[in-house]
């Protein structure tokens, strides 16, 4: 039996649709945003209207419930025109969709799918990069809320994101198994955001944020606390439909050029 890895007729039509959209809507405008160092919200909303931001998300929240191959096709074609590809939104939005409370999903996912907001992922810190279990950010429960203290650094879109999926220690003595995930709104007291000047893309920010006594009434992801950091990271990869293959698609597309 011979396996056929060719794209289906429907997938090829989808590729052409996204390619034409990227050439006609993204390419003529993206460099102006790069020069100004501004996030291209106009283009983000157009991608939302096309259904490209919420591709893997549930339909009830404005998504398309598309598979990883379809998502990869979209990312390739958008990357060829240097658009801010929605890989991070697939990961963060997918995590919320799979493990967030219904109140969080209904509040955050529809505007995310429409391209009206962005959600980031906050794991790395000044003292914890690849060794994420060494993170120092803490979350202490007080009444019905958690109070977060700590710093996330070397993260993408700290200035543009409306919320972050933040990992924090709820049981310091448990190491990697005492780390939980929270959805933290950025426009609130107790959070100070900053960006680094970097070489390369300038249309989105790269930097971090500090949380000092940030009371988080939005709630903890129900499944996060008792499963620990290692399982939580597995959940993020699953939520983004095997995120690693999708992450390399923009690099591949840029290397190949516009074809």
Domain membership flag for residue 160: yes
Same-domain status, 219 and 243: no
The answer on 109 and 32 residing in a single domain is yes
Specify the pLDDT at position 33. 93
Residue 245 domain-assigned (yes or no): yes
- Asked if residue 243 and residue 188 are part of one domain, the reply reads no
Q: Does 130 share its domain with 112?
A: no
pLDDT given for residue 226 in this prediction: 47
User: From residue 168, how far is each of 104, 111, 133, 147 by CA, in Å?
Assistant: 18, 25, 10, 10
**CATH number for the domain including 161?**
2.40.110.10
178 located within any domain: yes
Contact 73, 249 (CB under 8 A): no
Please check whether residue 1 lies inside any domain of the structure: no
Note whether 147 and 208 are same-domain residues: yes
218 and 141 in one domain?
yes
**Does some domain include residue 15?**
yes
pTM for this structure? 0.87
C-alpha dihedral (186, 205, 29, 257), degrees to nearest 10:
-130
Q: Is residue 2 part of a domain?
A: no
- β-pair type (179-185, 206-216): unpaired
**pLDDT attached to residue 128:** 87
> Given this model, what pLDDT does residue 3 score?
79
CATH at residue 19: 1.10.540.10
**223 Cβ partners below 8 Å, 6+ apart?**
99, 235
pLDDT (tens, 9 = 90+) of the chain, 259 residues, equals 677 788 999 999 999 999 999 999 999 999 999 999 899 999 999 999 999 999 999 999 999 999 988 998 998 899 888 887 788 888 889 888 888 888 889 999 999 999 999 999 998 999 888 787 889 999 988 887 889 999 999 999 999 999 999 988 888 887 777 888 889 999 888 999 999 988 878 889 999 999 999 887 655 564 444 454 555 555 555 544 444 455 555 565 556 665 5
pLDDT of residue 26: 94
| pLDDT at res. 234 | 57
Q: Kindly state whether residue 46 falls inside one of the protein's structural domains.
A: yes
Residues 54 and 152 placed together within one structural domain of the fold = no
The pairing of beta strand 119-122 with beta strand 163-169: parallel
Structural domain total, the chain: 2
Residue 98 sits in the same domain as residue 132: no
What pLDDT score was predicted for residue 217?
66
Domain residues for the domain of 136 are 119-226
Cα–Cα distance, 195 to 28 (Å, whole number): 27
Query: Within a domain: residue 232?
Result: no
| 205/245 same-domain check | no
């Amino acid at each position: 039996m011979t396996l056929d890895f060719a794209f289906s007729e429907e997938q090829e039509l989808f590729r052409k649709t996204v390619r034409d959209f990227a050439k006609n809507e993204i390419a003529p405008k993206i460099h102006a945003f790069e020069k100004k160092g501004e996030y291209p919200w106009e283009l983000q909303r157009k991608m939302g209207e096309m259904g490209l931001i919420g591709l893997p998300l549930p339909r009830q929240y404005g998504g398309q419930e598309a598979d990883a191959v379809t998502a990869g096709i979209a990312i390739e074609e958008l990357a060829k025109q240097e658009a801010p590809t929605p890989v991070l939104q697939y990961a963060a939005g997918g995590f919320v969709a799979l493990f967030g409370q219904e109140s969080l999903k209904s509040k955050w996912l529809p505007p995310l799918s429409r391209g009206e907001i962005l959600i980031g992922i906050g794991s790395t810190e000044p003292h914890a990069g690849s060794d994420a279990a060494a993170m120092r950010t803490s979350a202490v429960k007080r009444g019905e809320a958690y109070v977060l203290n700590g710093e996330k650094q070397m993260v993408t879109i700290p200035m543009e994101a409306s919320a972050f999926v933040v990992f924090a220690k709820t049981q310091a003595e448990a190491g990697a198994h005492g780390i939980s995930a929270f959805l933290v709104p950025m426009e609130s007291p107790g959070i100070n955001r900053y960006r680094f000047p970097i070489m390369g893309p300038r249309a989105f920010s790269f930097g971090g944020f500090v949380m000092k006594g940030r009371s988080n009434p939005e709630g903890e992801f129900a499944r996060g606390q008792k499963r620990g950091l290692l399982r939580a990271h597995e959940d993020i990869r699953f939520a983004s439909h095997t995120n690693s293959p999708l992450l390399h698609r923009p690099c591949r597309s840029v290397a190949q050029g516009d074809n």
